[in-house]
Structure 1
Amino acid sequence: MSCTENESGPFVVFFLPALVGCLTILLARRWANSQVSNTSSTAVSRRRKIIKDPLVKRPLPPIACKMAPPGAKKATGVAKKGTVPLLEEDVNGGGKKMSRTPRISPTGPPSGSLGTDTKMSDGILQPKHIPFPYIPQDSELLFEIMNFVFTLVATGLQFLNLYRTAWWLPQSYNNQAMNFYLIDPHLVAFIVTILSRRLLLSITLAVLRQFIDAKLMPHATIAARTFILGVILGSLAWCIYFIAHKYVFLVTVYLFYPVVLYFILFGFESSPFLELVSGNPPLHSCSHEPQHARDEADTMTADFNMRLIRILFNSLIEAYYTSFIPCCFAQSFLYYDIYAASQQVGLVLCALCGRYSAQLFSAAHCDVSHRAALHLGRWQPAPAPAPAHGSESEAWCGARRWARGARVRVVGAGGAEFVADAPLVAANPDDNHHARFYDLFINPASFLCMLVSLQLGLVVIQFYLLFNSIAWHNFMAIIFLLFIDYYTLFKLFRDYAVCCKVYRAENIIHDKNGPVLATN
């Protein structure tokens, strides 16, 4: 094999990564289907079939309720005409928990919809939520195992770029592909310790759940965190002690730059260092109180910002230690391709951002924020009314909800006027966070489409680099990075496809109820 010419055929360059990517997607889909079949009976399907028990002679009564005026007697027996079917509306999405409550509208149920809306005391209809299908996601332990293997392979690929040899030449004195004696083992131990911090905690908690009662798990979790944190810090201190004796002080300082960033973002909290997401995710609950909708939107906005910060922080940290630190500790006499090393840093950083985004911003999580956005609504700056057609505006009150087209003025914003741009508006016109939250999550398919586009662009760039790579080590690095990017692209595109179908059906239902909302 020559060092100057690319003798790899078209099969190796194009069809091999595509074939391996397709096999990876097929295996992932097979595993996902097996997970769906093994789920517990609490998972609710979108289409339910009432199966009649052959041992029971009498027929099952239909699930219906009879419309009756207040104070009338309770309806018994088989339902007659005028009954309204009960709704099955899930509380938090994901197809896990469903509540069965009758929603009766004075105008009757609209044809073709899943049920009827709830009219509140002020004449505004409550927004409708349709059940979101269950999409299998990687568990915390599986994600950490895959992430650890990926970052470990990325570290090995960067060391390959630095310490590769011309082992194939007939007059070469090396019979190995790398100069392993130039790699510092304490530096490798330091990097592996940083990469395995969350995996160790995930494995420990998974083992404890098998042997410890659920009532004692909170105390066991705190003890496990403290123990794992002590082991990690002790291992890092041991590695730094030997590294400081081999290198100058300025080189050793490179290891501590992420520590400054960590304290700026998280302070003295230890959970972001050991866990990707700490605590339970926020849940949505339908309420008629406007303040509850605003508080829920603020909570989910803070959760979104924290998840975004952790995505960027963990991606930067792992790309820094796996791809940049080996270059900083390379020997002064070592000559390596700076372009290839920089390319490795960028590709690993983008791949990690895609992996964390697919895990933390799943379709089910975005659907919870979408439901909160429907209850929040949005205000738009009101255009100046014509002199001949002046319109009166009311003072905005946070204790009530507003219908579409309502015109209000905010005293605290210098008397600025706003117009309600949603069927139901409970947001604060003077709060820009509410407007941004509504714009982002009123249609989560747009947000997921952006993630899919970025991941697809990364794959296209890798294919371009693959066709233009000459050195064999660059070729291997791109091939291995493409494997994990194929899997991330599959997950993001699956979530995007499901969200498109779900929210298209939801928009059809809202469009049918639009004339009813406009008359209130």
Structure 2
Amino acid sequence: MPPRGPRKNAVLEKTSTNSQMNIHSNQISATMSGVTVSIHPNWPDMQFTQGELFFECTLFLYSVLALFLQYLNIYKTLWWLPKSYWHYSLKFHLINPYFLSCVGLLLGWRVTMCFWKKISEIVATLSANRSSFVQSTLMVIEYAIIKTPLMTLIVTSFLFSFSRVCNDFPSRSIMYFFCPFIFYIGFFRCEIWWRLMRLRTHLSVYLAGAIDITTLFERLLDPLPTQIDLDSVLHMCSDKPEQIRAEVDVLITDCVLRVKRSLFAGISTALLSILLPCVFVPYKTSLGVPQSILINDFWEYQLGMVVGLTAFSLYFTYLLPLNYLDLLHRSAVHLGTWQQVEGPKVGQTGSANWAPQKWYSFCLYNDGEVVQMPDGRCYRARASEIVGTVAANPEDSQHFNFFMACQRPSTLINIMCFFEFMLIFTQFWMLVLTNDWQHIVTFVLLMFANYLLFAKLFKDKIILGRIYEPSQEDLLLIQQLQDGLNQNLAASAAAAR
């Protein structure tokens, strides 16, 4: 099913960045609106993630580094030998510059789109509360001076380079350029199908005469459902099961979308940086004489796995920052889960102590209560220690998996730390087993990204642990900060009088 983007604003309560701190309380107190006072700990005012443009530039630099190291492994020379004819470490005359241009433009496509969005945001900020003349002038500058020349330069450069690549290499090699697009269709087929259905609906409305051509283009240009904006949403501590399940459904859809984006980033980076350079090696000399370059296939598979998993972990860590993990945990403790148990035996259903009650979607169930579904299966409620109630659907496996993965705040961050540690250990073991100089240089340089990412994950794990399981020193520091804040507020109030 396509992502239910329009429901996000109805389920997750919007708030400003300054109001993202919840009220700390140990008890749930229901209000007349059904929204309860938050039972979750306070979070400090901190920056949870880096900017999108900065991260995409970082991932682009890592991809370019992997591409350079792949060229080093393919076109290496024997420059260290005393009687070697090569004075450089690479055979530069074998590198096709047009293919390198195509791969570089494809690797930098996400950076280009982020730069495009950043320009739109800057222009929108400058156009706010300005006259129509100023807004029109800024729009002309945005599209006529910046965006149109930029996209024209990028598209024409790619088409020219791609045409030269098609002329220099056989058609079977050109087909590998379409592998990232095939994976994109496979991962995001639901979003593509959703857009096609929307196109069909809007066209039928336009042909019926209900809307004009301008409205049609405005609706067709609406963006696809994207991931939720963590700076503008806040978890709702609700005691209504429908609201809890609706919020969890939105988070599950959003989390799946983030995972798919991370997988596609990892696979596309490995394909463009590692696989394509192996395919587009020169198969003939400038005089037309056939030639072949020896490639260690097993080593290339290893390098592709390392680069792909590293890019995946970088993108996954970026898309799942601390505040997002905390949002998943807060929703999971309100959701709870069910455990299937053996139902009542024949002839005992009339016993009041044994006959389970019927499950109702509008009811909250306490921990340990047993319900029976229409098909006869029975489930026992398993609530979290914080809330003590269950709002999940017993027959929904997604609710069960969501609760098991997010019921503890440190579960996902521990999995990410373990995954990154195993990736570093694997690269170190491969480094120990190799004896080629180009392989040593490759692993030494690529492991720096994993070191930095592992340090960031370990820091986030410490922050998460100190917030949910504070020590006595942490509690004393929090109390001192609260006392100082209360004194400042009292002084401000006295000065105002």
Name the structure 2 match of 1:106: none
Contact 2:413 2:457 in 1 (8 A): yes
Name the structure 2 match of 1:259: 181
Deviation at 1:253? 0.7
Aligned residue among 91, 96, 100 for 1:184 = 96
Deviation at 1:439? 1.0
Name the structure 1 match of 2:461: 496
Query: How far apart in 1 are the matches of 2:430 and 2:299?
Result: 11
Aligned residue among 308, 313, 331 for 1:349 = 308
Query: How far apart in 2 are the matches of 1:276 and 1:337?
Result: 43
Name the structure 2 match of 1:415: 376
Report whether the alignment pairs 1:323 with 2:274: yes
Q: Which has the higher helix share?
A: 2
Query: How far apart in 2 are the matches of 1:495 and 1:301?
Result: 22
Name the structure 2 match of 1:434: 399
Aligned residue among 444, 453, 470 for 2:435 = 470
Aligned residue among 76, 80, 91 for 1:168 = 80
Deviation at 1:175? 1.2
Query: How far apart in 2 are the matches of 1:275 and 1:457?
Result: 36
3-state SS of the aligned residue for 2:85?
Answer: coil
Contact 1:316 1:349 in 2 (8 A): yes
Structure 1 residues 407 and 214: CA distance shift in structure 2, 3 A: farther
Contact 1:191 1:321 in 2 (8 A): yes
TM-score (norm 2): 0.72
Which amino acid letter does the alignment assign opposite residue 359 of structure 2?
A: W
Aligned residue among 302, 314, 331 for 1:372 = 331
Query: How far apart in 1 are the matches of 2:364 and 2:225?
Result: 37
The alignment's C-alpha RMSD in Å is 3.5
Aligned residue among 218, 230, 247 for 1:296 = 247
Which amino acid letter does the alignment assign opposite residue 255 of structure 1?
A: F
Structure 1 residues 95 and 430: CA distance shift in structure 2, 3 A: same
* 1:200-248 deviations in Å (ceiling 9; x for gaps): 232344345445426669x97x979998777655443332211111111
3-state SS of the aligned residue for 2:98?
Answer: helix
* 1:152-206 deviations in Å (ceiling 9; x for gaps): 0100000000001111222222211101110111110011101111212323443
Query: How far apart in 2 are the matches of 1:190 and 1:349?
Result: 20
Which region of structure 1 is more displaced relative to structure 2, 279-288 or 373-382? 279-288
Query: How far apart in 2 are the matches of 1:127 and 1:461?
Result: 43
Contact 1:405 1:421 in 2 (8 A): yes
* 1:314-368 deviations in Å (ceiling 9; x for gaps): 1100110001100011134112333332222121112112111211112211111
Contact 2:262 2:312 in 1 (8 A): yes
Aligned residue among 442, 447, 461 for 1:482 = 447
Which region of structure 1 is more displaced relative to structure 2, 381-390 or 338-347? 381-390
3-state SS of the aligned residue for 2:355?
Answer: coil
Structure 1 residues 231 and 306: CA distance shift in structure 2, 3 A: farther
3-state SS of the aligned residue for 2:79?
Answer: coil
Aligned residue among 100, 110, 117 for 1:198 = 110
Report whether the alignment pairs 1:158 with 2:70: yes
Q: What does 1:78-93 correspond to in 2, within 5 Å?
A: none
Contact 2:36 2:237 in 1 (8 A): no
Deviation at 1:100? 7.7
Contact 1:94 1:135 in 2 (8 A): no
Report whether the alignment pairs 1:310 with 2:261: yes
3-state SS of the aligned residue for 2:339?
Answer: strand
Instruction: List gaps (5 residues or longer) in structure 2.
Output: 1-12, 129-134, 197-222, 284-291, 472-497
Deviation at 1:381? 1.2
3-state SS of the aligned residue for 1:420?
Answer: strand
Structure 1 residues 193 and 285: CA distance shift in structure 2, 3 A: same
Aligned sequence identity (%): 24
Which amino acid letter does the alignment assign opposite residue 361 of structure 2?
A: G
Query: How far apart in 1 are the matches of 2:97 and 2:224?
Result: 27
Contact 2:22 2:42 in 1 (8 A): no
Instruction: List gaps (5 residues or longer) in structure 1.
Output: 1-90, 102-112, 507-520
Which region of structure 1 is more displaced relative to structure 2, 277-286 or 174-183? 277-286
Deviation at 1:486? 0.6
Name the structure 1 match of 2:166: 244
Structure 1 residues 136 and 289: CA distance shift in structure 2, 3 A: closer
Deviation at 1:375? 1.8
Aligned residue among 361, 365, 374 for 1:398 = 361
Contact 1:162 1:336 in 2 (8 A): yes
Structure 1 residues 201 and 495: CA distance shift in structure 2, 3 A: same
Contact 1:93 1:367 in 2 (8 A): no
